[in-house]
Chain A
Amino acid sequence: MSGSRELILERVRRALADAPLAPESPRDYRRAGTLSPVARTELFYERVCDYRAEARRVRAGELPVAITEVFAARGAQRVCVPNDIASEWRVDGVNFVDDEELSWEELDHIDGVLTGCTLAIAETGTIVLSAGAGEGRRAITLIPDLHVCVIEERQIVETVPEAMTLLTELGAQRRPLTFISGPSATSDIELNRVEGVHGPRNLVVLIEESA
């Protein structure tokens, strides 16, 4: 409603007739972390586990074995992957289905999804997806019930500000971002935490040691 636009702006300007001052916002909070890479990975691992996601640390080069085990342990046979996933992740024994415009219905009948991520935040146990390479569209990590996410150790930052500094560029490119901290959960029934409502009920994070 075009009249409303002018009306609201006019109301705002009138409300601010006293010209309130807004000095530069102080930013004295911690920006950079202080942990060593080893401690940072350790913290990330702990925090992910804290939110009852499954986390595994995997030696460089042993990722295919870990992927095979994770899907086998859950009996997941048909697994969706973004088209541009690293070829070494396409292990034998799993039927990988490339995401070529799969419908929501089709995704609903997939056993799981395997993706990489953009970065991870140690302090909060968060992984961030940005629809980038090896991550796919948002829907593929949302509809299937099992999400296996591979993180390279060097993708882990310690603090939220460090993460946002790296993500600002992606934000400017209008990439959709999803922050995931553990499997979906609700505390709406007497504050009992129940894992898994609408998103994947199982989140497995594979942390690959940097070579």
Chain B
Amino acid sequence: MSATARPFPEAAHDALRDAQLRSNLFVATQTIRDKRNQVVGELSDWEELREAGRAIKADVLANLDRYLLQFEQAVADAGGQVHWAADAGEANQVVLDVARAHGVTELVKVKSLTTDEIGLNAALEAGGVSAIETDLAELILQLGGDWSSHILVPAIHRNRTEIRDIFRATIADDALSDDPGELAEASRTYLRERFLTARMAVSGANFGVAETGTVCVVESEGNGRMCTTLPPVLVTILGIEKLIPSFADLEVFLQLLPRSSTGERMNPYTSLWTGVNAADGPQEFHVVLLDAGRTNALADTVGRQALHCIRCSACLNVCPVYSRTGGQAYGSIYPGPIGAILTPLLYGVEHAPTLPFASSLCGACYEVCPVKIDIPSVLLHLRAKAVESAGKPSLTMAAAGWLFGGRRRFAAAQRLGRLAQRPLIRAGKIRRLPPPLDAWTRTRDLRPLAGESFREWWERRG
């Protein structure tokens, strides 16, 4: 992936001008927010579930080596094959090798952030294998030559007319209307034939159970079931952080995830399978355990909690920044508050130095996160790292630090400021300031420094 994208403020500037994007996003984020609040409100033990989810994930990370080995053994015992991929290239190679071993040139794929992250489709294409996205939103993106703007609803920035036009140009004829039902039907017809004849599928997964080697995929449309059940060969790419210790732990996450993500009590389909079952499903099953930066994040003692993330996208929907700029401004597969911490943690803060600053630190993300990732604290931690890695501390901040270092300096600065601002004041307001403060005054007035500071008043009062 290209982690070193445009600086966030620049990308956001463009995104904010896209009126269509903003209104789509606004409706979408508000709708999911409301649904989420309603179904979360139904559970009297939501906080206890969150705490359990957080603690289970913390346990997984603290003992990750042990759980990985346990998972590997359990999958192997159940007839599956386990591969380890230190980086994206290795993971892609495993998939390509499996495809080649079976002479497969076309495979079906379930939406998966992990496979997007490693650029699997492009790697397969280069190796002569085409991957067909089967999730409706991903299909829309794939056919439209576009990329995702939301973890959960990747085509959130496309409205129905745009989707109709994409479909007309690719998989349907001009009779297709923009009715959502008809659009879904068009994708069903197009994909069904491919599901029934596909010889190989690739999926991501939501959870891997260390104890049993079970893999869990949570979805809505049924394409996940199609891909993980029908083709004779299945490869699942699993980030090493996706493990949970025991089968019973699913009782926590299967409550937290659907309510936080789609705002449903339970998503339509959840599939769990363990290795190969002679009477049911694929007869060849591979799991690829993927690092690709996860151990970098793990080594960061403050930031490692970002690996708790179960990709529910609740933090995106409540984020006042994300809900205005959309996901593409983040220049990463992982947008929104979680993206602002995960991207720098995976790839190094020097590759995404503006992301930790793309937040007003309002804390709404932490409040909704089902596994209690303290995103604001990690943002602060990464800001410090970003400043450190830039190696050239800002003069302004250093000067301010010095001014605040003593009462007399501070009082003198207040007096000096009052003098300096005089020519800038019009009718009691400052409407224009020189750079960099013009960023404020371009859109907002500023109150001048008071004629008498509080401390002067206090002294005068005696």
Contacts and interface: CB of A to CB of B under 8 A. Distances in A.
Q: Do A and B contact each other directly (Cβ–Cβ < 8 Å)? A: yes
Interface of A: 1-2, 4-5, 7-9, 11-16, 18-30, 47, 51, 104-105, 108, 121, 123-126, 131, 137-139, 142-143, 160-161, 163-165, 167-168, 171-172, 174-192, 194, 196-199
Nearest to A161: B251
Nearest to A130: B272
B32 interface: yes
A99 B383 CA distance: 60
28 contacts: A1-B85, A8-B289, A20-B58, A20-B61, A26-B48, A26-B52, A28-B52, A30-B44, A125-B265, A125-B266, A138-B280, A164-B247, A174-B274, A174-B277, A175-B277, A177-B270, A181-B264, A181-B268, A186-B137, A188-B135, A189-B160, A190-B28, A190-B159, A190-B180, A191-B32, A197-B221, A198-B188, A198-B226
Given A12-B68, A194-B184, A131 B279 contact: yes
B375 interface: no
B266 A124 contact: yes
A168 B274 CA distance: 13
Nearest to A101: B279
Interface in B380-400: none
Contacts of B229: 138-139, 142
Contacts of A167: 247
A188 B140 CA distance: 9
B268 A199 contact: yes
Given A138-B225, A138-B280, 13 more contacts: A12-B295, A22-B61, A27-B48, A104-B230, A160-B254, A171-B272, A172-B247, A174-B214, A185-B220, A186-B220, A198-B188, A198-B223, A199-B222
B83 interface: yes
Query: Interface centre among A1, A29, A47, A104, by most B CB within 10 Å?
Result: A29
B248 interface: yes
A185 B180 contact: no
B196 A25 contact: no
Main DSSP-derived SS at the B contact region: helix
Interface string B211-224: 01010000011110
Contacts of B83: 1
Given A30-B45, A183-B268, A108 B192 contact: yes
For A16, A18, A25, A164, the residue with the greatest tally of chain B CB atoms inside 10 Å of its CB is A25
Nearest to A136: B280
Q: Which of A23, A176, A180, A186 counts the most B-chain CB atoms under 10 A from its CB?
A: A186
B48 A29 contact: yes
A139 B131 CA distance: 22
B64 interface: yes
Given A126-B266, A187-B220, A194-B180, A137 B280 contact: yes
Given A26-B51, A108-B192, A142-B225, A176 B271 contact: yes
A104 B296 CA distance: 44
A189 B184 contact: yes
A30 B44 CA distance: 9
B205 interface: no
Given A12-B68, A30-B44, A190 B272 contact: no
A8 B220 CA distance: 33
A22 B57 CA distance: 9
A15 B298 contact: yes
